[in-house]
Chains A and B, each alone.
Chain A
Amino acid sequence: MPVAKPRKSRAEVFLNIPYDKTFDRLFVAYIAGISALGMVPRATLEIPDSSRRLEKILRLARSCKYSVHDLSRVQLDRAKPRVPRFNMPFELGLCVADANRREGQKQNWFVFEAVANRLDKSLSDLKGTDPRIHGVTVRGVLSGLCNIFRRPGRQPTVPQMMQIYKDLRKKQAVILKKAGSNTLYTGRVFADFCVAASSEAERTVVD
């Protein structure tokens, strides 16, 4: 009797990034880069505001094989009351704790920062972990992702990722208009960007 081959599932990446206007370029860069690597980006944007939000965030993070955490936004907020954003380090903590609980699991969480050596001060508990330094540039994010993930046979190059990023940025206004949104940080816009990026990656990144 023929035995069915076990189907390899698509890897999902939990994206833990700041949701603010000044981060727009890097937000699109993360989506472009992860999609170019043949993975599906996931974010808390998909979760509607509700009383059980934390539980849903944890469930979403657990359902993803990998997680990428951008800890570059450590500055105080411009609007009053001026506070730093604690969401990113908090969600990183959840993912690290969850990864450590699973025995025999390889490291599946990765940290990005804008400035070298700053993480040692802002989150010294992570000493010994090498964050990827993107320098607040799109190329920095894409090359960081390229260095973390390797896909034998279909490894995208940074220029290919950059092409996907540029195409997404060109179509950004149309996608926002269709969604009736003026910000990238809504569930619908995020999903649309991910699907558009995957479609472009299929054509751009070939064997």
Chain B
Amino acid sequence: MAVKLTSKFATAEDTAKALGVPKSRLKWLVRLMHSQTAFKRSGGNKNGRKNHTKMVTSISKNARGKTKKVAR
């Protein structure tokens, strides 16, 4: 037996309200679940080759993905 749902689709706000989750935590949870896209954007092979030159990612803390050319 299947039940046909006619109620409104519950949003994160509705759920938070029903379960007594404060707004600040709701915002944090929504941000947490959406943060996946940011991970995807920053992913990728940073040790790739550019212009047939071997590129090495600097391991220094503030390098932020900058690469330097290494003689072959």
Contacts and interface: CB of A to CB of B under 8 A. Distances in A.
Interface of A: 7-12, 35, 37-40, 42, 46, 65-66, 106-108, 147-152, 154, 167, 170-171, 174-175, 178, 190-192, 194-200, 202-203, 205
B5 A150 contact: yes
A198 B1 contact: no
B18 A107 contact: no
A48 to B, nearest CB: 12
Contacts of A39: 5, 7, 10
Contacts of A10: 7-10, 14, 18
B3 interface: yes
B15 A35 contact: yes
A154 B9 contact: yes
A133 to B, nearest CB: 15
Nearest to B14: A10
A171 B14 contact: no
Interface string B1-31: 1111111111110111011110001101110
B32 interface: yes
B18 to A, nearest CB: 5
Contacts of A203: 34
A198 B32 contact: no
A9 B14 CA distance: 10
B32 A11 contact: no
A147 B1 CA distance: 8
B19 A191 contact: yes
Contacts of A151: 4-5, 9
B72 to A, nearest CB: 39
B51 interface: no
A8 to B, nearest CB: 5
A139 B33 CA distance: 22
Contacts of B29: 175, 192, 195-196, 199
A40 B3 contact: no
7 contacts: A10-B18, A38-B8, A40-B10, A195-B26, A196-B30, A199-B12, A199-B30
A37 B5 contact: yes
B60 interface: no
Determine which residue in A12, A66, A205 has the highest number of CB atoms from chain B within 10 A of its CB, and name it: A12
Contacts of A178: 28
B62 interface: no
